[in-house]
Structure 1
């Protein structure tokens, strides 16, 4: 078994352990303060100020919370919340596992006619449709599949330690890419001056982001 296969086995085992038993009520209680920024259903901010965390892989979310806590990934609003006295490791694992189970539909719901007003409102508010971004979709798809799909998945759904990109607001993705390229955010398995993000042009990035917005309704 090669190193990559071993890593994927470890990641799969870790993710399975995170999802094994989820105390939903406790997870929602832990998530409560997060909703102020990430939204009631974890959809993030429409202007790209906060990421979508609903449906994100538990392994990735947990690792980012740990990175915020250790300040390996600098984020001043997240640091005080993730300090050990406020968010213990077991709570990080629990909320990460629960968030992975949260599904946000990409199509408006069909009502049966027997829902009350609150149920209908919640059904509509959970819908997350990322607006189509400008760019050459075909060109973006070629760059993505050649350089990004191996880690983030051919449909952008991520896997293990590699985050889901599809369904994320375009402005947030662009902000993070810019942070990587400025060396302000560490990119896993890459040094500060290597990796695909430092080799592609602004036009190629725009095209990739446009391509990702076409995948949100893909099976």
Structure 2
């Protein structure tokens, strides 16, 4: 599969904008404690989107050229995710602060490059349009489980993840709207049960008493939060033109 960069004069403008946004990031104590020095270094580098596309070719084998992953949750949707979040997770995996044996060899510097590569590939991923048909849970709006999931979200998750799952790029809180249900459910369980070592301890404390049913209901609700159409691909049949 050949890759044809499509960014020309746009690259510089987008890179400047991204750099300005990320440099303002507030690295909380949690973030500092669970990252290597690569996180801060990468966030202060100006992204090169053309190199980001080249680096992303490695990632696309699992996350797909569109960055959508799989609705069955095998791999998460990366498209549209906040760049600081992506940088932090990549750096954590490389530093063995987050256990991900499948991804680890592909995230290493010898596979994708140094801090500049992290800056570049995350800038590219953040600008990808999201899947308009993400994987959703089984309970539709109006069901008792949907409504209970909504209440659990409002009572426990809004402060960090926002009123519609938008997250907070300056505090490393991920965007969870539009993410696949099965992937979120697995990560939620791992965080609750202490299997994800780089999880925010505030979240671990917040959800420690969630039952499995509670988890399923709140994640079902999140998976069904509508994403702003401007952030979505025009259809589920959209293909990334950079990979034509």
Q: Which TM-score tier does this pair reach, normalised by the shorter chain?
A: 0.7 to 0.9
Q: Distance in 2 between matches of 1:187 and 1:68?
A: 9
- Is 1:11 the counterpart of 2:26 in the alignment? yes
Q: Distance in 1 between matches of 2:178 and 2:202?
A: 27
Give 1:96's aligned residue. 122
Decide which moves more: 195-204 or 52-61.
195-204
Q: Kindly provide the CA deviation profile for residues 99-158 of structure 1, in whole angstroms up to 9, marking residues without a partner as x.
A: 11111252xxxxxxxxxxxxxxxxxxxxx3433532711111111112111111110011
The number of equivalent residue pairs is: 188
- Is 1:172 the counterpart of 2:177 in the alignment? no
Kindly indicate whether the alpha-carbon contact (under 8 Å) linking 1:69 and 1:82 is maintained by their aligned counterparts in 2: yes
Unaligned runs of 5+ in 1: 1-7, 107-127
- Is 1:152 the counterpart of 2:139 in the alignment? no
Aligned-residue Cα RMSD (Å) equals: 2.8
Q: Distance in 2 between matches of 1:191 and 1:179?
A: 14
Pair 1:89–1:170, CA change in 2 (3 A): same
Give 2:64's aligned residue. 39
Which one has more relative contact order, counting CA pairs under 8 Å at least 6 apart?
Answer: 2
Kindly indicate whether the alpha-carbon contact (under 8 Å) linking 1:155 and 1:218 is maintained by their aligned counterparts in 2: no
Q: Distance in 2 between matches of 1:46 and 1:75?
A: 19
Give 2:18's aligned residue. none
Unaligned runs of 5+ in 2: 1-22, 28-38, 230-244
Q: Distance in 2 between matches of 1:162 and 1:90?
A: 22
**TM-score when normalising by structure 1:** 0.75
CA shift at 1:11, angstroms?
Answer: 3.2
Counterparts of 1:18-33 in structure 2, within 5 Å, are: 18=43, 22-33=47-58
Q: Distance in 2 between matches of 1:104 and 1:10?
A: 23
